């Protein structure tokens, strides 16, 4: 009997577990085994099986773990291994409650000025009869400090069926969107109810576009105009009280406060509003003087209420004459190592009146003039006619640790005479020779591999160079191997001859591979750069790619996991991707793997058994997973290997570990497996009680699969889809399952669950084989027949397919007892087994023989494995090899002694038998 004989768990929160103890009592006069033979969905009994001596009692725990919001009412069936094979039933009732608290999903504060505070009420309604004591917390990184609860509350009492308002305040400290989450936890083991808190900090922000206005050179007595716009890039309307011209003492110290008379503003109102996102044009006019004059400078000052200066726009203009400019005006070589020849270029051009203008050989002024040399970029000699832009190249080499300021002075000649208006064009030079400690660089990747790339298509990939040391690092002379394959290029090589990286700083060099023909040979190049000092060997990053006719694309590529919880507990998440074949020929994927040299926090597998063919215009699905171990950015490379191609097609994976609440960005679906592993008697049906949870409320689906099972097992969940399929273990041993859940966005989560299948007490024999075909298991009662005599077999002296399955038993019953009579519980004809035979209470006075028969399996040789269990323990394991059909072998004899048995090998074999 069971006490109590029914249990009402009432309301239990989804994703949690409630349990109650049940006392089982044996009121009979014989030993009885009690087994949970049928568990309703959402329930479990632990342990699932107990053995009770006469008069004994035992406690079992009945657990209720609702996986969704509904009622879970059913009957627990307990099978009793007594003479009558009775079944004891227990009514179980319970309700899964998910929406314990009703509350809005998002509380939006809108946009308020930085530093201001806005408070909104949040209504919370208790949907259940129970009183709740809600634990309150706000998460979400640095943004969480912008939100606060009334009186800094950390908990809130919410009586059953009532509604209360909780005041939430938002005070933005900076401009831009803010997001955090208010977590409401109804109980310590309950899942959080999440309310997204969003708001934005706003400012009044006016900016000019462009930030400067140059009228250039204007012919004497002529006028020229240009304009800039006052742009409101803030969040609120702004008032402009004045727009006025003022002097520019920084560029024109002679004019104190007064703007030169050549400048004026056209059509500007005295006071006006600029709406958020709007622009107002301001026209600047320059009236050139009667004769050529030096360049004039002024500023346009834009003011707001309370004498607030929004900004000033520098303006300039020149009345007539030549105006030779250098672009850039200053050549800064930055920090350079000793004795390295660094090069920079510049251009001279006349932006003034077009006259017959020539440039003579420049002289270099300054104490360090001999460290610089200059030459025309095209190799020509002076004088140079400046009838268009003219390029020059300056080389610097320094041998001492110091600064090297200098200046290039180009004499300018108009109509054969040096210009009195502008006698020289000047280019400032600057360099510093340093000696820094040796670099500690992280170059990622150490080698850049494009893999297989479709001919006449281009792919770009980055090379990151990061200073992972504790001191500054000097890097210079970055470039592609001039002898490398010309399919590689780098459009964004550094424009400066050197770069100093602070600790932790990195810069990226983008490499593009665009093959134009198929050679069948891997294309190669290198990225070179120097670092530390001239004695340090230059760094080399090998670059490779293979042009192919196949046209594959990955969708998506990269596979972006985004932020995934890494601490306090790492979460493994899954994302599917497709490989599409856009070519005209089918391709065959032989294997997939993760490339070395990248993060190994990712895994990949195919949805189908490899190799797999992808037809033209077809696609195949693959699954990648990510499990971060630390708070870092991870990048991986998936290798998709094709038959006949020496390089793989590559797919990038990206993810990052986080310890903060990241809201919808990491609301991965959660697979819910039973809290503990299951243990069940072999050949007994159990329910795999799984579930799925989506923090974002998306619809989810479940799929169960067998990850590992005893060798020879063919059992599978039924059905494989659905969260709570049935499963019948067909062999003794350990099973591991994976529950994969997929939400409507394609994101996936998984968990694993274990099950131990134990043998029946008494005698248990199971057999399986390696190639499909008809193999049969025979068990002979040796009190009724001699195992070494053919006539004993295929009679009621033994248990075999002809008399011992589908509820049939040998007649008469062995030893006059159904529990002492063998039962063939599983028979298999077309497959690889298993088959098994059971005797609940074997005789202690006579042995049993085990025989194996190759009835019709012609795929010889056939290797047959037989396991014999006595009293729940493995007594013998045997392998039988058949070389032809109609072979029969007596494996051996088993004598049961009450708790174990003695096995005697036999080996008798008959050919052409039955």
Which DSSP string do the residues of 52-87 spell out, in sequence order? E-TT-EEEEEEEE---SSSB--EEEEEEE-STT--E
Instruction: State pLDDT tens for residues 565-584.
Output: 887 778 888 888 999 999 88
Instruction: State pLDDT tens for residues 271-286.
Output: 999 999 999 999 999 9
> What superfamily in CATH does domain 552-666 come from?
Immunoglobulins (2.60.40.10)
pLDDT of residue 84: 61
pLDDT band, very low/low/confident/very high, at 665 (cuts 50, 70, 90): low
pLDDT band, very low/low/confident/very high, at 664 (cuts 50, 70, 90): low
Q: CA–CA separation, 20 vs 6, rounded Å?
A: 11
pLDDT band, very low/low/confident/very high, at 37 (cuts 50, 70, 90): confident
What CATH number is given for 324-433 in this structure? Answer: 2.60.40.10
User: Which of 95-109, 442-456, 569-583 is predicted with the least confidence, judged by mean pLDDT?
Assistant: 95-109
Instruction: State pLDDT tens for residues 587-625.
Output: 999 999 999 888 899 999 988 888 999 999 999 999 999
Helix (H, G, I), strand (E, B) or coil at 334: strand
Say whether 441-548 and 2-97 share the same fold: yes
CB atoms within 10 A of CB 468: 15
- pLDDT mean over 69-78: 87
CATH topology of domain 670-758: Immunoglobulin-like (2.60.40)
Q: Which two tokens stand for residue 824?
A: 């063939």
pLDDT of residue 636: 93
pLDDT of residue 321: 86
**Between these two residues, 165 and 28, which has the higher pLDDT value?**
165
pLDDT of residue 409: 95
* pLDDT exceeds cutoff 60 at 319: yes
pLDDT of residue 666: 63
Give the CA count within 13 Å in the CB-facing half-sphere of 402: 9
- Interior angle at CA 890, CA 886 and CA 893, nearest 5: 160
**How many residues are recorded in the chain?**
914
- Going by their DSSP bridges, the two strands 498-501 and 473-480 should be labelled as antiparallel
567 CB-near residues (< 8 Å, 6+ apart): 630, 631, 657, 659
| Most confident of the following: 249-253, 673-677, 699-703, 881-885 | 881-885
Instruction: State pLDDT tens for residues 712-767.
Output: 999 999 988 888 899 999 999 999 999 999 887 778 888 899 999 999 889 999 99
Q: CA–CA separation, 68 vs 76, rounded Å?
A: 20
Residue 385: burial class (beta carbons within 10 Å; 0-12, 13-18, 19+)? exposed
* pLDDT exceeds cutoff 90 at 676: no
- Interior angle at CA 8, CA 5 and CA 11, nearest 5: 165
- pLDDT mean over 635-657: 92
Residues 641/593, Cβ–Cβ less than 8 Å: yes
pLDDT of residue 83: 46
Q: CA–CA separation, 302 vs 228, rounded Å?
A: 12
pLDDT of residue 46: 80
Q: Which residue is it, tokens 């099986």?
A: 49
CATH topology of domain 763-910: Lipoxygenase-1 (2.60.60)
- pLDDT mean over 162-191: 85
Where would I find the beta strands (DSSP E) of 233-292? 238-240, 242-246, 263-266, 272-274, 279-287
- pLDDT mean over 869-891: 95
* pLDDT exceeds cutoff 60 at 10: yes
Residues 315/215, Cβ–Cβ less than 8 Å: yes
| C-alpha distances in Å from residue 258, one per residue of 177, 253, 263, 270 | 43, 11, 11, 19
- pLDDT mean over 166-181: 90
**Between these two residues, 416 and 15, which has the higher pLDDT value?**
416
CATH value of 441-548 in 3.40.1190.10, 2.60.40.10, 2.60.40.60, 2.40.30.110:
2.60.40.10
What is the rounded radius of gyration, in angstroms, for the C-alpha atoms of the chain?
Answer: 42
Give the N- to C-terminal CA distance of the chain in Å, as an integer. Answer: 49
Instruction: State pLDDT tens for residues 510-544.
Output: 999 999 999 889 999 999 999 988 888 999 999 99
pLDDT of residue 912: 92
Helix/strand number for the chain, H first, E second: 0, 76
Residue 561: burial class (beta carbons within 10 Å; 0-12, 13-18, 19+)? buried
User: Which of 629-633, 662-666, 790-794 is predicted with the least confidence, judged by mean pLDDT?
Assistant: 662-666
- What is the architecture of the domain spanning 206-319? Sandwich (2.60)
CATH value of 2-97 in 2.170.190.11, 3.30.2270.10, 2.40.110.10, 2.60.40.10:
2.60.40.10
| C-alpha distances in Å from residue 893, one per residue of 197, 801, 909 | 74, 20, 14
Nearest to 68, CA basis, from 678, 755, 699, 751: 699
Instruction: State pLDDT tens for residues 432-445.
Output: 998 888 899 999 88
Class of domain 101-202 as given by CATH: mainly beta
In percent, the amount of the chain with pLDDT more than 70 equals 97
* pLDDT exceeds cutoff 70 at 661: no
- pLDDT mean over 59-77: 85
* pLDDT exceeds cutoff 80 at 251: yes
pLDDT of residue 101: 84
Domain boundaries, the chain: 2-97, 101-202, 206-319, 324-433, 441-548, 552-666, 670-758, 763-910
* pLDDT exceeds cutoff 90 at 179: no
Q: DSSP string covering 388-449, please? A: S-EEEEEEE---SSSB--EEEEEEEEETTEE-SS--EEEEEEEEEE--PPPP-EEEESSEEE
For the chain, the average pLDDT equals: 90
* pLDDT exceeds cutoff 80 at 504: yes
- pLDDT mean over 817-821: 91
Q: CA–CA separation, 763 vs 866, rounded Å?
A: 13
Instruction: State pLDDT tens for residues 301-314.
Output: 999 999 999 999 99
Q: DSSP string covering 645-695, please? A: -SS-EEEEEEEEEESS--GGGG---EEE--SS-EEEETT--EE---EEE-T
User: Which of 246-255, 375-384, 637-646, 879-888 is predicted with the least confidence, judged by mean pLDDT?
Assistant: 246-255
- Interior angle at CA 690, CA 688 and CA 694, nearest 5: 170
Helix (H, G, I), strand (E, B) or coil at 322: coil
512 CB-near residues (< 8 Å, 6+ apart): 458, 459, 460, 488, 489, 490, 491
């Amino acid at each position: 009997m069971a006490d109590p004989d029914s249990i009402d768990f009432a309301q239990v929160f989804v994703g949690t577990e409630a349990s109650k103890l049940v006392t089982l009592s044996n009121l009979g006069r014989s030993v009885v085994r009690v087994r949970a033979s049928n568990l309703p969905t959402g329930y479990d009994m632990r342990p699932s099986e107990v053995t009770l001596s006469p008069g004994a009692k035992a406690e079992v725990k009945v657990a209720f773990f609702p996986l969704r919001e509904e009622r879970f009412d059913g009957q627990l069936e307990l099978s009793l291994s007594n003479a009558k094979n009775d079944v004891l039933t227990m009514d179980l009732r319970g309700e899964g409650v998910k929406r314990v608290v009703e509350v809005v999903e998002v509380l939006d504060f809108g946009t308020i000025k930085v530093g201001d505070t806005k408070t909104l009420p949040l209504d919370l309604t208790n949907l259940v009869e129970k009183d709740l004591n809600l634990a309150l917390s706000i998460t979400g990184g640095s943004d969480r400090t912008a939100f606060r609860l009334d009186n800094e509350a950390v908990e809130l009492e919410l009586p059953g069926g009532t509604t209360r308002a909780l005041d939430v305040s938002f005070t933005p400290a900076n401009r831009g969107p803010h997001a955090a989450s208010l977590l409401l936890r109804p109980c310590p083991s309950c899942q959080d109810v999440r309310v997204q808190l969003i708001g934005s900090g706003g400012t009044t922000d006016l900016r000019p576009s462009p930030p400067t206005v140059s009228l250039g050179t204007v012919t004497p007595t002529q006028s020229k105009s240009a304009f800039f716009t006052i742009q409101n890039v803030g969040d609120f309307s702004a008032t402009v009280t004045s727009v006025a011209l003022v002097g520019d003492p920084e560029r024109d110290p002679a004019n104190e406060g007064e703007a030169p008379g050549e400048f004026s503003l056209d059509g500007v109102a005295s006071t006006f509003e600029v709406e958020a996102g709007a622009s107002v044009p301001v026209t600047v006019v320059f009236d050139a003087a009667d004769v050529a004059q030096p360049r004039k400078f002024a500023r346009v000052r834009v003011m707001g209420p309370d004498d607030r200066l929004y900004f000033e726009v520098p303006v300039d203009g020149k009345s007539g004459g030549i105006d030779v400019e250098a672009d850039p005006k200053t050549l800064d070589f930055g920090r350079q190592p000793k004795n390295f020849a660094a090069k920079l270029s510049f251009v001279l051009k006349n932006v003034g009146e077009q006259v017959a203008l020539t440039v003579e050989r420049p002289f270099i002024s300054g104490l360090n003039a001999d460290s610089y040399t200059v030459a025309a970029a095209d190799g020509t000699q002076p004088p140079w006619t400046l009838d268009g832009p003219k390029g020059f190249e300056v080389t610097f080499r320094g041998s001492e640790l110091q600064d090297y300021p200098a200046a290039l002075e180009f004499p300018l000649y108009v109509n054969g005479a040096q210009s009195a208006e502008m006698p020289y064009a000047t280019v400032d030079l600057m360099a510093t020779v340093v000696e820094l400690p040796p670099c500690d660089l992280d170059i990622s990747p150490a080698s850049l591999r494009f893999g297989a790339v479709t001919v006449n298509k281009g792919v770009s990939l980055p090379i990151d160079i990061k200073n992972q040391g504790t001191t500054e690092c000097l890097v210079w002379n970055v470039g592609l191997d001039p002898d490398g394959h010309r399919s590689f290029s780098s459009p964004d090589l550094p424009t400066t001859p050197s770069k100093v990286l602070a600790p932790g700083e990195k810069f990226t060099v983008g490499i593009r591979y665009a093959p134009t023909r198929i050679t069948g040979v891997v294309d190669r190049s290198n990225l070179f750069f120097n670092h530390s000092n001239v004695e340090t060997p230059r760094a080399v990053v090998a670059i490779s790619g293979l042009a192919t006719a196949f046209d594959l694309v990955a969708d998506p590529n990269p596979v972006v996991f985004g932020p995934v919880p890494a601490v306090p507990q790492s979460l493994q998440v899954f994302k599917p991707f497709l490989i599409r074949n856009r070519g005209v020929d089918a391709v065959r994927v032989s294997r997939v793997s993760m490339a070395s040299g990248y993060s190994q926090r990712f895994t990949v597998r195919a949805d189908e058994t490899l190799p797999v063919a992808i037809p033209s215009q077809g696609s195949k699905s693959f699954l990648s997973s990510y499990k971060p171990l630390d708070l870092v950015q991870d990048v991986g490379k998936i290798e998709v290997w094709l038959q006949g191609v020496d390089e793989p097609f590559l797919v990038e994976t990206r993810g990052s570990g986080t310890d903060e609440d990241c809201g919808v960005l990491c609301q991965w679906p959660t697979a819910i497996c039973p809290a503990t592993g299951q243990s069940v008697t072999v050949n007994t049906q159990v329910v795999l009680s799984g579930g799925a949870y989506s923090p974002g409320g998306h619809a989810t689906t479940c799929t169960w699969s067998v990850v590992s099972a005893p060798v020879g097992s063919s059992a599978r969940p039924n059905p494989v889809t659905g969260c709570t399929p049935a499963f019948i273990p067909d062999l003794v041993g350990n099973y591991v399952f994976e529950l994969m859940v997929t939400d409507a966005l394609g994101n996936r989560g998984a968990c694993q669950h274990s099950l131990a299948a134990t043998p029946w007490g008494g005698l248990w024999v199971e057999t399986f084989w390696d190639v499909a075909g008809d193999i049969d298991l025979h068990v002979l009662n040796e009190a009724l027949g001699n195992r070494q005599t053919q006539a004993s077999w295929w009679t009621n002296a033994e248990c075999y397919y002809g008399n011992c399955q589908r509820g049939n038993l040998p007649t008469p019953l062995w030893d006059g007892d159904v529990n002492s009579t063998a039962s063939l519980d599983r028979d298999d004809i077309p497959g690889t087994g298993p088959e098994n035979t059971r005797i609940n209470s074997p005789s202690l006075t006579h042995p049993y023989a085990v025989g194996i028969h190759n009835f019709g399996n012609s795929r010889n040789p056939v290797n047959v494995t037989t396991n014999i269990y006595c009293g729940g323990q493995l007594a013998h394991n045997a392998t039988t090899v058949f070389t032809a059909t109609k072979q029969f072998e007596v494996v051996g004899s088993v004598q049961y002694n009450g708790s174990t048995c003695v096995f005697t090998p036999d080996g008798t074999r008959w050919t052409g038998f039955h």
